[in-house]
Amino acid sequence: MTAHEISSKEITMYSAEWCGDCRRSKRLLAELGVEYTLVDVESDASAAAKVVEINGGAQSIPVIVFSDGTHLTEPSDIALKAKLESLKII
């Protein structure tokens, strides 16, 4: 199963193939067995615009959006894991 086939209503990650922080966050989510919806900002212009909107003008990725309406931008593994724990996802 590829990351593009993994889907969850809980989490959406805006990402790009070339992004090292994106790969790190994807690896952590995989290690934790957390499903998410992956949106490639390189192939979806509206997704790229959404990232800029979420970040208040910045194009920083990954942006990870959670079902509670919050998001993390370029989170450390520690911050991402803490967020997942707070939402009782892990």
Tally the residues of the chain: 90
Q: Which residue, among 26, 6, 8, 7, has the nearest Cα to 16 in the 3D structure?
A: 26
Place of tokens 């803490």: 82
Superfamily name and number for 3-86: Glutaredoxin (3.40.30.10)
Digit-coded pLDDT (tens) for 11-65:
999 999 999 999 999 999 999 999 999 999 999 999 999 999 999 999 999 999 9
Contact partners, residue 24, CB within 8 Å, separation at least 6 = 77
Q: What is the pTM of this model?
A: 0.88
Give the pLDDT confidence score for residue 70 in this predicted structure: 95
